[in-house]
Structure 1
Amino acid sequence: MGRSRTYEWEDPALSAAAVGKGTGLEFLRDIVAGRIPGPPIGATVDFSLDEVEHGRAVFSLVPGEEHYNPIGSVHGGIYATLLDSAAGCAVQSTLPQGTAYTSLDLTVKFLRPITLDTGRVRAVGRVVSSGRRTALAEAQLLDGTDRLLAHATSTCMLFPLPAS
């Protein structure tokens, strides 16, 4: 017996057009408030940006069968997606107007399996260090009791957006 999942997303050009018009924190707060649509990857994976403040971002996901790998637990790519999003958005939350970022690397350490029984998980990202050209961030993937499931570090390149 097959299973299916249907989802919808908004045009990603809407949010892309808003990048750099205000600060990174303002942009992310607009996503949380629904004034700017979230990225399609959020709908695809079914995770959300729940909290953002300067230097910190929190995403959450309730694991489902659609996230499973062939051995019956959540696929490592889902861990990495959550951790990359949390670390990257923590960096984005510190950016001034007219500045953007892109991830240069992501190093993930998987510590515990996630299954349906794990319940909601949270990826908490924070900026460790930020300079003129790069920023270092880390993210932790936690269960409902704050048990560490995975950890990641990410280096992000910072760059000015072209004037429009």
Structure 2
Amino acid sequence: MTRTRTRTRTRTYGWQDPAITASAVGDESGLEFLRGFLTGELPPPPLAATLGFALEEVEFGRAVFVLEPGEEHYNPIGSVHGGVYASLLDSAAGCAVHSVLPAGTGYTSLDLNVKFLRPITVDTGKVRAVGTVLTKGRRTALAQAELLDSEDRLLAHATSSCMLLPLPPR
């Protein structure tokens, strides 16, 4: 086996102060808060810049994130790392839950169960993580998320349980 050295690739990105967004949590409904990302009133979280994904749609009980896979997402075997799948699915499921919360209520993930069904590479093209709320109670919510390619083939599936929390007054 011949190993070839290649030139180092680089990627530069920036983000805004995450305290801006954190200070706005709970002031309005979860849906209104999430819509702030779509309108540009709120800066996206640093993780979105780090991984290169974005919130594309949000409505009550549903959130959609998109990602154009790149080499920077690869694991050592030449496909997108499972942690990228999980981050997209967790974001979609969690934000779907957030979209149904009233002002003054937050959430945290209790678990995330991911099933990887197909590999993703740069040739896959843009992928979408579509999160939906399955049920919401007083203390917990259950959501699912599907990771889909441009032809709506299922690449991965996840379920997430979230604990609902009253946010402290400011």
TM-score (norm 2): 0.96
What does 1:56-67 align with in structure 2 at a 5 Å threshold?
56-67=62-73
Residue equivalent to 1:103: 109
**Which residue identity does 2:110 align to in structure 1?**
L
The answer to whether the aligner puts 1:27 opposite 2:36 as a matched pair is no
What does 1:1-164 align with in structure 2 at a 5 Å threshold?
1-164=7-170
**Which residue identity does 2:91 align to in structure 1?**
S
Deviation (angstroms), 1:102: 0.5
| Structure of greater Rg | 2
1:39-86, Cα deviation, whole Å (9 max, x unpaired) = 000000000000000000000000000000000000000000000000
Q: Distance in 1 between matches of 2:35 and 2:15?
A: 19
**Which residue identity does 1:121 align to in structure 2?**
V
Q: Which runs of 5+ in 1 are unaligned?
A: none
Deviation (angstroms), 1:90: 0.0
Q: Which runs of 5+ in 2 are unaligned?
A: 1-6
SS of the residue corresponding to residue 31 of structure 1 reads helix
SS of the residue corresponding to residue 18 of structure 1 reads coil
Q: How many pairs does the alignment contain?
A: 164
**Which residue identity does 2:49 align to in structure 1?**
A
Deviation (angstroms), 1:32: 1.2
Q: Distance in 1 between matches of 2:8 and 2:101?
A: 45
SS of the residue corresponding to residue 149 of structure 1 reads strand
Greater than 6 Å deviation, 4+ residue runs: none
Q: Distance in 1 between matches of 2:165 and 2:90?
A: 18
Worse-superposed segment, 86-95 or 30-39? 30-39
SS of the residue corresponding to residue 86 of structure 1 reads helix
Q: CA RMSD in A?
A: 0.3
Q: Distance in 2 between matches of 1:108 and 1:62?
A: 20
